[in-house]
Each structure stands twice: as C-alpha cells, then as structure tokens.
Amino acid sequence: MVMDTIDIVVKRITEMESILEEALRRMDMAEEVPKALLAYQSEIKKLDEYYSSQDWKDDLALDEDGRLPKDLKRGVLSEDGIYDALEWNKELMERIKGTRMVKHVILWTLKDELSAEEKEAIKQGIKEGLEGLKGKVPGIVDIKVNINGLESSNADLMLDSTFESVEALKGYSVHPEHVAVADSKVRPYTKIRSCLDYEV
C-alpha cells in the first residue's frame, strides 16, 4: 500500500487534532450548554470515521517510525485518548437526549382568493420569516420551510422544524419574534393549518 506524503498526513492529523480539542471543550460545557455539543456532532463523526479508518492506522505507523514532525500535536494518535473521547461523547449524547428533541411540522393551505403571484410572494415571505428565527429564538435546532411542493400536494407549504425539547417548543410558540412572524406573514393568508408534534 502506498503511504500518503508526510505533508498530507500532517494536515490530516492537524485537522483531526483541532476537532478533538474542540470536541473535548464542548463536552466539558455539555451540562450547561448542551446545544453546543449537539451542533458539533457532524465534526465528531469525522473524528470517529478517522479513528476507524486505514488512514489512522497508517498515520500511527508513521508516528511510531519517527517520521512525523516532533512538534506535531498528535493526541488523536493516542488510542486510549481518542477512544475515551468518543465514548465520553456517546455517554453525554445519551444523557442530553434523555431530554428528547421534538419535531414540529405544520402544513398550511393559503386562502383561495389569493392569486398565483400573491401566493408565491407570501410563501417566500413565510419561508424567510420562519427560517430567520434560528439564532433569535432559543431551543431551535433546525427550521426549514418547503414551498416547492409537487402538483399532487394538497397543501401549499410545510414547516419542518426541530427543537431541543418540549419546553423549547412551548417557548417558541409564545416568543415575540415568532409571534411577530406568525401575525404578519402567516395567519393573515392561511385558511387551513395542520400540525404534528412528536419526539425524536
């Protein structure tokens, strides 16, 4: 098997080391700020995939042969260190998700008297208004509005959102930023609203 060049290996280890350090920092804060760790799971997945890959074995072999720069930070090549960090992450995620996240899905049908052009403008306004709430309303994990349904649909648009907990969803429903969007962009133009909330 052809080994990667040392420069490529150093770059890979440096990237993984950075992810490991940030993951450990967020794990330390997980009790107080769980959403910071939740938001970093895609990066931690990269770390997990690296640890189980041939790249990690090859990088470790290079390190053991003394071929890597002496000043290279290499905590990710410590089998106990990276394994313990990944197991700690799993434990924390199980604990965090003991408070289960909630999906909040809404289908709306717009009023009949609206023209096609008005409907398109209204749907775009609803999308921009609701998706713009992320970062403004606490507890939103993800929020998307689909306005491009197929002709077979019998609704005009759909809200697909995820919240940290039932309590976060309750807070969202009465938050002034959300109420302002609902009162100005949604309620005046919709005739039917169907909602499904469920834990994930």
**For 183, which DSSP code?**
I
| pLDDT value of residue 29 | 85
C-alpha distance from residue 6 to each of 10, 61, 67, 79, 133 (Å)? 6, 12, 8, 20, 45
Q: At which residue do the structure tokens 């000043």 appear?
A: 71
∠ CA 116-120-123, nearest 5°, is: 135
CA distance 9 to 76: 12
Model pTM?
0.55
Three-state DSSP class for residue 196: strand
| pLDDT value of residue 200 | 79
Is CATH 3.40.50.300 correct for 102-199?
no
- For every residue of 3-30, DSSP letters joined together read PPPHHHHHHHHHHHHHHHHHHHHHHHTT
CA distance 101 to 175: 18
Contact 39, 96 (CB under 8 A): no
| pLDDT value of residue 2 | 46
CA distance 138 to 61: 46
| pLDDT value of residue 98 | 66
Contact 4, 53 (CB under 8 A): no
pLDDT string in tens for the chain (200-residue length): 345 688 899 999 999 999 999 999 988 888 677 778 888 998 999 999 999 999 999 999 999 999 999 999 999 999 888 999 999 998 888 777 666 789 999 999 999 999 999 999 999 999 999 999 999 999 898 999 999 999 999 999 999 999 988 889 999 999 999 999 999 999 999 999 999 999 87
